[in-house]
Structure 1
């Protein structure tokens, strides 16, 4: 009987210790105060450092920023757990990458994003563009669609109203008012193309990497929200306190003030307007 009683007491002790340990683990998980946010080097790493990190640190977080130089590792690092969130990609890329790599990733919130623009060293205005001018455009379908939409906004072409704005191509151009010649090239080469062709449709990230001023463009993109960059986390972390605090930081007046002062030309998402 004594042995049974001792055994019962030991079992009870282990149960209490296990429960306490579980409660501590849950508390630690809910009180995560050290986070690592990944971003591509350049404007989005700067955005994390200047506009998000200080706000989180005021809330008691210790924030590390990890910079990446490609568009694959930030999502892999997030899925593997070496970073807690990232900022570098738009909705279309996120959904495609997650599906292709079987990852459970979700967006927290969209942020101001550098828009694509039409640049020229030959013409100083849209009105000055001559008939038959050549424009370099991205050779990938997603960015090419954006280029055609900018040209339509600029009044240089007309696009079939039935065309999907996310997949517009030269086949959807119903009227080419200036008889523009389209020259598809790699997106990363578009900043250099400004020197060799009449016009170049340059995505914002490549323009900034080449030290181009967004406000020097002849026309900036009225960007669809699907193309704005997002803060992304693992889906399992969507409802965690740190994720909610990151979202609140981006929604704050302090964040918008930094954007207005240091990220001129960046297009704000619909929720900020």
Structure 2
């Protein structure tokens, strides 16, 4: 038998080695093109992620409890559906809501009328601005000692608010009902110094507006802002000896700063305060003690 040449064994070994290298190269090629390797995003566009929901905005609003905070709380659910959360901060005075708004601790406030705001800005050097008119609270005169104004005695003690705008408003109301006479030249800025005639010698006492319901036992009559009357469970339509007409120019307003008056959330608040639903709420809840006066 003829022996095989070693040369053929060498050729066979080389062929097997080349075949093995070819197979390995194929696997490497498969891996590079995605085979069993982890997929990559290189050269492809990522799928867009869903748009996030609109972010909620919180507005801090300063207000006196009645009726202002009650009206704000009434509209809060509707505003929440629009992405605006109302945080109603209640105040029992007329100073801090403006101070805190100016200092940016509040986003807006709702408690005052235009003459009061104008006087406050002038006194403090502030620039707070009206955002919307909402309602009128007819100003009333009350007593725990008499049942009719005809019972008021000469020399009686009459309490009025001590801030210029509401004090003037009270004096005008007293004059309209024949208790005193005023210098007409003073206009709405009238003060006790503008009393032209006081023939019955009434004693006019100026006190902090918020305290007036609490001093009814100490005076004969008091001119009280409707919000404080309501808080003291006085019904302006039933308990007042006399009251302003519903067409009073003292419209209660939403107040902001110049820098945020046009913010989208503030504008949503303005719109929510002037809806037919709010008009109905005011009429049904306050029975004439508070009168809608949108944009007045």
Which interval holds the TM-score relative to the shorter structure? 0.7 to 0.9
Residues 75 and 120 from structure 1, CA distance in 2 versus in 1: closer, same or farther, beyond 3 angstroms? closer
Q: 1:150-169 CA distances to partner (integer Å, 9 max, x unpaired)?
A: 11222333333333222243
Structure 1 position 211 matched with structure 2 position 237:
no
- Number of the residue aligned with 2:71: 47
RMSD between aligned residues: 3.1
Distance 1:185 1:240, change over 3 A: closer
Q: Does 2:204 align with 1:183? A: yes
Shift of 1:131: 4.1
Q: 1:53 to 1:173 in 2, by over 3 A?
A: farther
Give, in angstroms, the shift of residue 235 of structure 1.
1.0
1:224 Cα offset (Å): 4.6
SS in structure 1 of the partner of residue 173 of structure 2: helix
Equivalent pair of 2:143/2:241 in contact (CA under 8 Å): yes
1:136 and 1:233 map into 2 onto residues whose CA distance is 31
Counterpart for residue 159 of structure 2: 136
Q: For 2:109 and 2:103, how far apart are their aligned partners in 1?
A: 13
- Work out whether 1:247 is the aligned partner of 2:270: yes
How high is the TM-score relative to the length of structure 2? 0.68
Deviations 1:232-264, CA, capped at 9 Å, x for gaps: 122122223222222222221111111112234
1:39–1:86 Cα contact (<8 Å) kept: yes
CA distance in 1, matches of 2:117, 2:108: 13
Shift of 1:132: 4.1
One of 281, 286, 295 as aligned partner of 1:263: 286
Q: Find the structure with the greater CA-based Rg.
A: 2
1:66 paired residue number: 89
The question of whether the paired residues in 1 share the 8 Å contact of 2:132 and 2:294 is answered with no
What do residues 203-250 of structure 1 show as CA deviations (whole Å, max 9, x unaligned)? 22332333322221111134753x433211221222232222222222
1:165 is paired with a residue whose SS is helix
Q: In the alignment, what sits opposite 1:194?
A: 216
Report SS of the residue matched to 1:88: strand
Between the aligned partners of 1:191 and 1:181, the Cα distance in structure 2 is: 19
Q: Which residue of 2 aligns with 1:237?
A: 260
The number of residues matched between the two structures is 240
For 2:126 and 2:158, the matched residues in 1 are separated by: 38
- Unaligned 5+ segments in structure 2 are 1-52
- Using a 3 Å threshold, how does the CA distance of structure 1 residues 267 and 132 change in structure 2: closer, same or farther? farther
Q: TM-score, normalised by structure 1?
A: 0.73
Taking a change above 3 Å as real, the CA distance of residues 58 and 127 of structure 1, as seen in their structure-2 partners, is farther
| Shift, 1:181, TM fit | 0.8
Distance 1:125 1:32, change over 3 A: farther
Is 1:90 aligned with 2:113? Answer: yes
Gaps in structure 1 of 5+ consecutive residues: 1-27
Cα distance in 2, alignment partners of residues 78 and 140 from structure 1 = 19
Q: 1:99 to 1:36 in 2, by over 3 A?
A: same
